[in-house]
Amino acid sequence: MKALHDLGVAESSRALAAGQVSSLELTEHLLARVAEHDSLGCFLHLDAELALAAATAADLRRAAGSSAALLGVPLAHKDIFVTKDMPTTAGSKMLSGYRSPFDATVVERLSEAGTLSLGKLNCDEFAMGSSNENSAYQAVQNPWDRSRVPGGSSGGSAAAVAARLVPGATGTDTGGSIRQPASFTGITGIKPTYGVCSRYGMIAFASSLDQAGPMARSAEDCAMLLSAMSGFDARDATSVQQPPQDFHAQMLQARDGATAAQPLKGLRIGLPLEFFPAALAADVDGAVRAGLAELEKLGATLVDVSLPRTELAIPVYYIIAPAEASSNLSRFDGVRFGHRAAQYDDLLDMYKKTRAEGFGAEVKRRIMIGAYVLSHGYYDAYYLQAQKLRRMIADDFQLCFKQCDLIAGPVAPTVAWKAGEGADDPVKAYLADIFTLPGSLAGLPGMSVPVGFGANGMPVGLQLLGNYFSEGRLLHAAHALQQVTDWHLRKPEGF
Ligand code: GLN
């Protein structure tokens, strides 16, 4: 058997079922690894005692006859999901010391499925960012090159999975925060259709965009986790009413006309012209095209399509997301949650000092932009226009899906950049979200799948986008690719 930390979610599940390892052994091993690689900065909170107790309980349940697929599999959660047994900070000083009285639905469902949590994973403050450098606590290093960022905002989740500290983790994606860090660290991640995973207990950034999803080594691992995480939840008004999905079964479902050598026969993959601009880094372009060539060998056909409003997705997103953020973050007033300024003159002064101390620079920037675009006189000029364009961007995708079944392209225009490089220029970071934002604005499901390495040996992800509720089809294509390639199995040196 492989080293315990090299087992992914599905492999851990099989090893546990076969009695090759106990959950306690697996959990002890991973806790030791987390401690050994503490300098990566992945964890904001670790609870060895709780994890070991949950592992022991899982082993007892298995001995008593339970055969739940995920029973005893250790994970960790992005610190944007509230948890009753551990603190939740959303990467912000505003919530330092905060404890939720309940678990987020995603956390609750994964625990009902038998998984256990080692702790809470670092992220950009309130999930705003692309490099994890906006965390109020610590930066996260990319295990492929410690001087580079792991991406964001789910950077702690991505780095922890890539460094083999956990087989899988939860993430959230508002404008790319599952897909981009997955791409930057060489792991697999899926953001499902908006509404597939409950947002209950997921600290809100931009409610009309926020979606939870799994980050793991392979499409198979993601399929198993997503089946457990997803499903209707009456506590989230935007949760989609559909019966529970078995994404693992959907992933394995053979296509009509498929053959053993060509499992993707008949699958039409659209390549939007705008996803391959002249300015796209050559190394990213090369790896993405290598991935596409493999998909073609598997029987897929590539067709040219167009998403003419791709560039507009950036201004549209950076109006809508801050608008929603400014509204969502108004609840952090020093009264109800977390931080409160120690000294103040009156109520207004308390609000001001609390928010000035509690929020970091990027969060403040977005609150100000959001308040501005929603204010009288600017609402029509900015917010309303952005909403109209958002609809047009979604319509463009529907035109594309008349010509193809899936859409493919790069996740990000470059590989992971050096820490500190984007610090003085927020707009530069915003521009790098160009390929993930259109799908987010449309509410579509999307994946990042490793397809090789670019400059300085840094990983590159292929983005696959599908129409609403096509998670099964996305996972099927990614799984087929991972059956004939080993990019997702490569790991950073020293891990
Ligand atoms: N990078 C984007 C932002 O900063 C996306 C973040 C996210 O998906 N949470 O808003």
- Summarised one tens digit per residue, pLDDT across range 335-348 is 999 899 999 999 99
Atom of ligand 1 nearest to the CA of 433: 1
- 92 carries an active-site annotation: no
Q: What is the pLDDT of residue 304?
A: 98
- Ligand 1 proximity of 250 Cβ (cutoff 6 Å): no
Query: What is the DSSP secondary-structure string of 77-91?
Result: EETTB--SSS---TT
Atom of ligand 1 nearest to the CA of 174: 8
Per-residue model confidence as pLDDT tens digits over 451-467: 999 999 999 999 999 99
Distance (angstroms) between ligand 1 centre and the Cα of 186 equals 19
- Ligand 1 proximity of 210 Cβ (cutoff 6 Å): no
- Ligand 1 proximity of 209 Cβ (cutoff 6 Å): no
- Ligand 1 proximity of 169 Cβ (cutoff 6 Å): no
267 is a domain residue: no
- 327 carries an active-site annotation: no
Q: Which of 12, 22, 23, 78 is catalytic?
A: 78
324 is a domain residue: no
- Ligand 1 proximity of 314 Cβ (cutoff 6 Å): no
Specify the amino acid at residue 178. Answer: I
Q: What is the pLDDT of residue 394?
A: 98
Beta bridge mates, 305: 272
Q: What is the pLDDT of residue 1?
A: 79
Distance (angstroms) between ligand 1 centre and the Cα of 123 equals 11
- Is the pLDDT assigned to residue 424 strictly greater than 90? no
- Is the pLDDT assigned to residue 426 strictly greater than 90? no
From 174, 205, 208, 435, give the residue whose CB has the most ligand 1 atoms within 8 Å, as the site to mutate.
174
Atom of ligand 1 nearest to the CA of 177: 8
Q: What is the pLDDT of residue 428?
A: 86
Distance (angstroms) between ligand 1 centre and the Cα of 97 equals 24
Per-residue model confidence as pLDDT tens digits over 143-184: 999 999 999 999 999 999 999 999 999 999 999 999 999 999
- Ligand 1 proximity of 128 Cβ (cutoff 6 Å): yes
137 is a domain residue: yes
Residue nearest atom 10 of ligand 1, based on CA coordinates: 128
- Ligand 1 proximity of 178 Cβ (cutoff 6 Å): no
List helix spans (H) across 113-153. Answer: none
Q: How far is CA 136 from CA 44, 283, 370, in A?
A: 10, 32, 21
In this structure, are residues 374 and 383 in contact, taking their beta carbons and an 8 Å threshold?
yes
129 is a domain residue: yes
- What is the rounded CA–CA span in Å between residue 401 and residue 238? 24
Q: Which of 177, 183, 230, 448 is catalytic?
A: 177
- Is the pLDDT assigned to residue 423 strictly greater than 80? no
Peptide bond into 153 cis (omega under 30): yes
Query: What is the DSSP secondary-structure string of 160-177?
Result: HHHTTS-SEEEEEESSST
Q: What is the pLDDT of residue 240?
A: 97
Q: Which of 153, 154, 157, 239 is catalytic?
A: 153
298 is a domain residue: no
- Ligand 1 proximity of 129 Cβ (cutoff 6 Å): yes
- Residue 325 corresponds to which tokens in the numbers above? 């953020």
CA-angle at 239, arms to 237 and 240, nearest 5°: 125
Specify the amino acid at residue 451. Answer: V
Domain count, the chain: 1
- Ligand 1 proximity of 328 Cβ (cutoff 6 Å): no
44 is a domain residue: yes
Sign of CA dihedral 206, 211, 216, 218: negative
Beta strands in 249-351 (DSSP E): 268-272, 301-305
User: Range of 132's domain?
Assistant: 4-261
In this structure, are residues 292 and 404 in contact, taking their beta carbons and an 8 Å threshold?
no
Per-residue model confidence as pLDDT tens digits over 230-287: 999 999 999 999 999 999 999 999 999 999 999 999 999 999 999 999 989 999 999 9
25 is a domain residue: yes
pLDDT band at residue 422 under the 50/70/90 scheme: confident
128 is a domain residue: yes
pLDDT band at residue 226 under the 50/70/90 scheme: very high
% of the chain residues with pLDDT over 90: 97
- 153 carries an active-site annotation: yes
* CATH number of the domain to which 87 belongs: 3.90.1300.10
Compute the mean pLDDT over every residue in the chain, rounded to the nearest whole number: 97
Distance (angstroms) between ligand 1 centre and the Cα of 346 equals 35
